[in-house]
Amino acid sequence: MTQSKIDPRGPRFGASITSVLMLVVLYLALDASTYQVAVWLIAINTAFFAIGASLGNAKHPYGLIFKGLIRPLLQAPKELEDARPPKFAQLIGFVLSSLALVFGLLGPDFQIGLIICASGIFFAAFLNAVFKYCVGCQIWLALARSSLIKV
Amino acid sequence: MPLDQRILVLVGLVLLASIVGLWLSSKSGKARQINNGEQIQLSNLGATKNGKPVVKLGEKVTLLQFSSDFCSSCKQTSVLLENIEKANEGLLHIDLDIAERLDLAKTFNILTTPTTLILDSKGSVVSRIVGAPKLATIEAEIEKLVNK
C-alpha cells in the first residue's frame, strides 16, 4: 500500500463544515414543514462521505475547496498526516449518514432515527474539528478488539 | 417544534459535545501512575525494532508504545519518543502495532491508541499515558525513574 500523506488541516476543515451542516440538518429536521429539506441535505452529505470514503479526503468536495481556496492562504503545514485514518473516518461518516438517509426517506415517523444519526455525525465532526479527537480511530480499535473486523 | 425550542436543542447539543471534548482532551496525554506490580515479559511482546527482534529492555527506562494503523497521532508520538530515546542513554522506545497483536490489546486493556506504558529497568509498569503525550510529561516520568 502506498503511504499517501495529506495536510491534516484539510479533514479538519471538512469536519467544521460537516458539523455546521449537521446543525442545520437537525434544525430543519425538528420541524415537519422543513423535514424534506433536511432529508435532501442528508442525501448530499451521504454522497460527499461516499466520495471521501472511496477516493480519499483530497477528492472530497470540501477537500477541493480547502485545496483551492483555504490552503493558499495558510503557511505550509508543519507535518503531514497519514491519509488512511481520515479516510476511515469518512467511512464511519458514510455509514451513519446512510442510516440517517434511510430513516429520512421512511418519513417523519422515523424522525428520531434521523436525529440520532445526524447528532452522531455532528459529535464526531465537532470533536475532530475543535478538539482534534478522532472518533473513527476509537471505533476501529473497538471493532478490531471484538473481532468484528478482520485486520 | 417552535423556533426557540429548536434553538435550545441545538445549543444543548453543542454544549454537550464541548463538554465531552474538554473531558477527553483533559485526560489525553496525561501520565497515570500504575502500582499493581505488573511486569512485562519482553519475550511475550515479540517486539521488533528496525527489523530486528528486541532482546533487551532499556537499561533504565523503556517506553512501550501501542499504535494502530488508523491513528494519526501515533506517528507523531513515535517520532517524539524516538527523539527522546536518542537524547537519553539507557532508554529504549518500542512501538507495537496493535493490529498485529490484538491479544496484547486485550492483555493490557488498550482502548485508545497511542497508549504508552513506561517501564522501569526491571520491566515493571510504572505509568501509563493514554493519547499523545507531551515532551515535558515523558521527561518528568523519566526523571522519576532515573533519580530513583
**Number of CB pairs < 8 Å for A and B?**
90
Q: What is the domain range of residue B126?
A: 29-146
* pLDDT value at residue B109: 85
Asked if residue B7 belongs to a domain, the reply is: no
Mean per-residue pLDDT of chain A: 89
Per-residue pLDDT of B34-89, as tens digits, reads: 888 788 888 888 888 888 888 888 999 999 999 987 777 888 899 999 999 999 98
Distance, CA of A89 to CA of A150 (rounded, Å): 17
Closest to B25 (Cβ–Cβ): which among A30, A122, A131?
A131
Query: In this model, does residue A134 exceed pLDDT 80?
Result: no
Asked if residue B91 belongs to a domain, the reply is: yes
B50: left (phi over 0), alpha (psi -120 to 50) or beta: left
Query: In this model, does residue A140 exceed pLDDT 90?
Result: no
How many domains are contained in chain B? 1
CATH number at residue B77: 3.40.30.10
Q: What is the layout of strands, in order, in the sheet containing B125-130?
A: B31-33, B125-130, B115-119, B61-67, B91-97
Tell me the shortest Cα–Cα distance from A72 to chain B, in angstroms: 24
Tell me the shortest Cα–Cα distance from B141 to chain A, in angstroms: 24
C-alpha angle B61-B65-B69 in degrees, rounded to nearest 5: 160
Structural contact between residues A64 and A6, judged by C-beta atoms closer than 8 angstroms: no
* pLDDT value at residue A24: 96
Per-residue pLDDT of B93-122, as tens digits, reads: 999 988 778 888 888 888 888 999 999 999
Name every chain A residue with its beta carbon within 8 A of the beta carbon of B20: 123, 127
* pLDDT value at residue A151: 52
Query: In this model, does residue A64 exceed pLDDT 60?
Result: yes
Asked if residue B94 belongs to a domain, the reply is: yes
* pLDDT value at residue A1: 42
Asked if residue B11 belongs to a domain, the reply is: no
Per-residue pLDDT of A79-110, as tens digits, reads: 787 787 788 889 999 999 999 999 999 988 99
User: Residues of chain A whose C-beta is under 8 A from some C-beta in B?
Assistant: 8, 23, 26-27, 30-31, 79, 81-82, 84-86, 88, 119, 122-123, 126-127, 130-134, 136-138, 140-142, 144-145, 147, 151
Q: What is the DSSP string of B112-148?
A: SSSEEEEE-TT-BEEEEEESPPPHHHHHHHHHHHHT-
* pLDDT value at residue A98: 97
Asked if residue B52 belongs to a domain, the reply is: yes
Name every chain B residue with its beta carbon within 8 A of the beta carbon of A26: 9-10, 13
* pLDDT value at residue A84: 78
Asked if residue B138 belongs to a domain, the reply is: yes
Per-residue pLDDT of A67-78, as tens digits, reads: 999 999 998 888
Interface test with A, best of B71, B104, B106, B130 (most A CBs within 10 A): B71
Check CB contact of B78 with chain A, cutoff 8 Å. Answer: no
Asked if residue B5 belongs to a domain, the reply is: no
Share of chain A above pLDDT 70, in %: 94
Closest to A140 (Cβ–Cβ): which among B14, B70, B100?
B70
Name every chain A residue with its beta carbon within 8 A of the beta carbon of B75: 81-82
Q: Using the beta-carbon criterion (under 8 Å), do B21 and A119 form an inter-chain contact?
A: no
Q: Using the beta-carbon criterion (under 8 Å), do B112 and A141 form an inter-chain contact?
A: yes
Average pLDDT of the residues in A10-32 = 94
- Lowest pLDDT segment from A94-98, A114-118, B2-6: B2-6
**B57 to A55, B38, B67, B130: CA distances (angstroms):** 42, 15, 19, 21
* pLDDT value at residue B72: 74
Q: Using the beta-carbon criterion (under 8 Å), do B98 and A30 form an inter-chain contact?
A: no
Asked if residue B16 belongs to a domain, the reply is: no
Interface test with B, best of A18, A138, A141, A145 (most B CBs within 10 A): A141
Q: Quote the cell numbers at residue B142.
A: 523519566
* pLDDT value at residue A3: 61
Average pLDDT of the residues in A38-54 = 96
Query: In this model, does residue A2 exceed pLDDT 70?
Result: no
User: How is chain A split into domains, by residue range?
Assistant: 7-145
- At B92 the three-state DSSP class reads strand
ipTM value greater than 0.95:
no
- Lowest pLDDT segment from A7-21, A122-136, B56-70, B97-111: B97-111
Distance, CA of A46 to CA of A101 (rounded, Å): 8
Closest-CA residue of A relative to B73 is A81
